[in-house]
Amino acid sequence: MNHAEPLVRFSGVQKTYDGVQLVVRALDLDIQRGEFLSLLGPSGSGKTTTLMMLAGFESPTAGDILLDGRPITGTPPHKRNFGMVFQNYALFPHLSVGQNVAYPLTVRKVSRSEQAERVAKALDMVRLSGMAERLPSQLSGGQQQRVALARALVFNPQLVLMDEPLGALDKQLREHMQLELKELHQRLGVTFVYVTHDQSEALTMSDRVAVFNEGVVQQLADVSALYETPANRFVAGFVGDSTLLNGTLELRSGQAFLVLPDGRRLAGVHVGAGTSGGRAEACVRPERIVLHTAAAAPAGQVLRATVVRSIYHGDHVRLMCDVGAGQELATVRVVRGHAGACPLPQGGEAVLLEFPPASTRIYAAPALH
pLDDT in tens, 141-168: 889 999 999 999 999 899 999 999 888 7
Pairwise CA distance, residues 75 & 59, whole Å: 10
What's residue 213's pLDDT?
96
Do 39 and 63 touch, CB atoms closer than 8 A? no
Reported as a pLDDT band with limits 50, 70 and 90, residue 367 is low
Mean pLDDT of the 334-340 span: 64
**Structural domain for 270, as ranges:** 241-364
> What is the domain count for the chain?
2
Mean pLDDT of the 116-141 span: 93
What's residue 300's pLDDT?
87
Q: Which residue has the higher pLDDT, 311 or 365?
A: 311
282 and 250 belong to one structural domain:
yes
CA dist list (Å): 105 to 96, 111, 120, 129, 159: 15, 8, 13, 18, 16
| Residue 93 identity (one-letter amino acid) | P
* Centroid of chain to Cα 64: 25
Q: Is residue 158 classed exposed, middle or buried when 0-12, 13-18 and 19+ CB atoms within 10 A define those classes?
A: middle
| Residue 357 identity (one-letter amino acid) | P
| 3 has pLDDT over 60 | no
223 and 115 belong to one structural domain:
yes
Pairwise CA distance, residues 37 & 207, whole Å: 6
| 339 has pLDDT over 60 | no
Mean pLDDT of the 230-235 span: 93
Q: Is residue 181 classed exposed, middle or buried when 0-12, 13-18 and 19+ CB atoms within 10 A define those classes?
A: buried
Q: Read off the CATH number of the domain in which 271 is found.
A: 2.40.50.100
What's residue 315's pLDDT?
86
24 and 80 belong to one structural domain:
yes
97 and 80 belong to one structural domain:
yes
218 and 311 belong to one structural domain:
no
Pairwise CA distance, residues 76 & 73, whole Å: 8
pLDDT tens, 168-188?
Answer: 788 888 898 899 999 999 999
68 and 183 belong to one structural domain:
yes
What's residue 369's pLDDT?
42
pLDDT tens, 257-284?
Answer: 999 999 999 999 999 888 899 999 999 9
Percentage of the chain exceeding pLDDT 90: 76
Last residue of a domain, one of 212, 233, 254: 233
CA dist list (Å): 202 to 72, 221, 240, 304, 361: 27, 12, 11, 35, 22
CA dist list (Å): 47 to 4, 54, 185, 247: 25, 11, 21, 33
The two counts, helices (H) then strands (E), for the chain are 8, 20
Do 191 and 34 touch, CB atoms closer than 8 A? yes
Mean pLDDT of the 92-101 span: 95
pLDDT tens, 269-327?
Answer: 999 888 899 999 999 999 999 999 888 888 889 999 999 999 988 888 999 999 999 99
48 and 151 belong to one structural domain:
yes
Residue among 233, 214, 212, 264 at smallest CA distance from 367: 233
Torsions phi, psi of 69, nearest 5? 85, 0
| 340 has pLDDT over 90 | no
Torsions phi, psi of 269, nearest 5? -95, 120
247 and 305 belong to one structural domain:
yes
Residue among 212, 162, 211 at smallest CA distance from 184: 162
Q: Which residue has the higher pLDDT, 1 or 219?
A: 219
* Angle, vertex CA 219, rays to CA 216 and CA 224, nearest 5: 155
Do 239 and 230 touch, CB atoms closer than 8 A? yes
179 and 286 belong to one structural domain:
no
What's residue 88's pLDDT?
79
| 338 has pLDDT over 50 | no
317 and 187 belong to one structural domain:
no
224 and 262 belong to one structural domain:
no
Reported as a pLDDT band with limits 50, 70 and 90, residue 234 is very high
Last residue of a domain, one of 208, 233, 258: 233
Pairwise CA distance, residues 251 & 241, whole Å: 26
| 1 has pLDDT over 50 | no
Q: HEC states along 304-320?
A: EEEEEEEEECCCEEEEE
What's residue 343's pLDDT?
75
Q: Is residue 258 situated within a structural domain?
A: yes
Name the H helices within 21-96.
47-55
pLDDT tens, 13-33?
Answer: 999 999 999 999 999 999 999
β strands within the chain, DSSP E: 8-16, 22-31, 36-40, 62-67, 70-71, 82-86, 159-163, 191-196, 208-213, 216-222, 243-252, 255-259, 265-271, 279-284, 290-293, 302-312, 316-322, 330-335, 350-354, 361-364
197 and 292 belong to one structural domain:
no
What's residue 87's pLDDT?
80
Q: Read off the CATH number of the domain in which 47 is found.
A: 3.40.50.300
- Computed from CA positions of residues 19, 20, 26, 29, in that sequence, does the dihedral angle turn out positive or negative? negative
Average pLDDT score over the chain: 91
Mean pLDDT of the 75-85 span: 91
Reported as a pLDDT band with limits 50, 70 and 90, residue 337 is low
| 195 has pLDDT over 50 | yes
Q: Is residue 177 classed exposed, middle or buried when 0-12, 13-18 and 19+ CB atoms within 10 A define those classes?
A: buried
Q: How would you classify residue 263: left for phi > 0, otherwise alpha for psi between -120 and 50, otherwise beta? A: left
